[in-house]
């Protein structure tokens, strides 16, 4: 499905990020991924999947020059990137009244500005080659009335707006842009969900369970492939039916 394709995944050492890296490799892609504070997990993922097809790059997504440098390294070491997955993100469980300005800024910097900077660095090559696919990771927190941190919900809502506008602009270059919107998952940022909210979610979920990172990863791989060539500017929910 992704043979002879090259992908870059931000936040590749987290639960969802690592699952996405594994899925892309399984479907035939060469994959670079970023990591910020877990170099040992990055090396483990490389060893697991084969360093000739997978490479981790240290990167703080809010640093513009660093993103451009990694894009250049990827081009030299694994080949021109035609798949970008913006997965890196942070969350913080905190009531609105206690959110400070620095908390708000950190949430917007990583989840929104980081997505912007990384996309700008990697999409230039796609525009030149007139081929590519971008998949952004949103969250149901930004799409439904849920008891979630306000700054996190705001940032994840911005992911969808970014996706829709960018998809329209890049369509002329044959570059598709979609978003994947997961609901409650096992592991990852969902680990921070309080028991009360978790139980409430499961009561309203038609499938009656939390999702798995592997299930999200398979959707990402599909959207990145030519099998999804007629899917563009969509925010696709994978939430068990809420």
The residues, any chain, with a CB within 8 Å of residue 165's CB and separated by 6 or more, are none
DSSP assignment of 166-180: HHHHHGGGTEEEEEE
- Can you tell me the distance from the alpha carbon of 242 to that of 67, in angstroms, rounded to the nearest whole number? 36
The residues, any chain, with a CB within 8 Å of residue 190's CB and separated by 6 or more, are 184, 210
Paired tokens of 162 = 């970014």
Q: Which of 152, 173, 201, 230 is catalytic?
A: 152
Q: Determine whether 42 is exposed, middle or buried from the number of CB atoms within 10 Å of its CB (0-12, 13-18, 19+).
A: buried
Which residue bears the tokens 């877990």?
38
Helix (H) or strand (E) holding 55: strand 54-58
Cβ pair 39, 58 in contact under 8 A? yes
Active site residue 201: no
Helix (H) or strand (E) holding 32: strand 30-35
Indicate which residues carry an active-site annotation: 152
């Amino acid at each position: 499905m992704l043979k002879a394709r090259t992908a870059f995944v931000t936040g590749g050492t987290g639960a969802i990020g690592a699952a996405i890296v594994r899925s892309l490799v399984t479907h035939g892609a060469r994959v670079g991924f970023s990591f910020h504070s877990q170099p040992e997990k990055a090396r483990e993922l490389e060893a697991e999947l084969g360093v000739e097809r997978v490479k981790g790059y240290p990167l703080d997504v809010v640093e513009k020059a660093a993103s451009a440098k990694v894009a250049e390294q990827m081009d030299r070491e694994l080949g021109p990137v035609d798949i970008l997955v913006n997965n890196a993100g942070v969350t913080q469980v905190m009531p609105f009244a206690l959110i400070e300005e620095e908390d708000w800024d950190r949430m917007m910097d990583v989840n929104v500005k980081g997505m912007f900077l990384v996309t700008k660095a990697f999409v230039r090559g796609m525009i030149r080659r007139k081929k590519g696919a971008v998949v952004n990771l949103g969250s149901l927190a930004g799409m439904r009335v849920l008891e979630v941190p306000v700054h996190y919900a705001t940032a994840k809502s911005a992911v969808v707006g970014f996706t829709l506008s960018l998809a329209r602009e890049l369509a002329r270059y044959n570059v598709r842009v979609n978003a994947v919107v997961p609901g409650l998952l096992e592991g990852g940022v969902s680990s921070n969900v309080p028991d009360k909210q978790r139980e409430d979610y499961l009561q309203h979920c038609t499938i009656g369970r939390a999702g798995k990172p592997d299930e999200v990863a398979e959707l990402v791989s599909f959207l990145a492939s030519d099998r999804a060539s007629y899917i563009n500017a969509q925010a696709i929910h994978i939430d068990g039916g809420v």
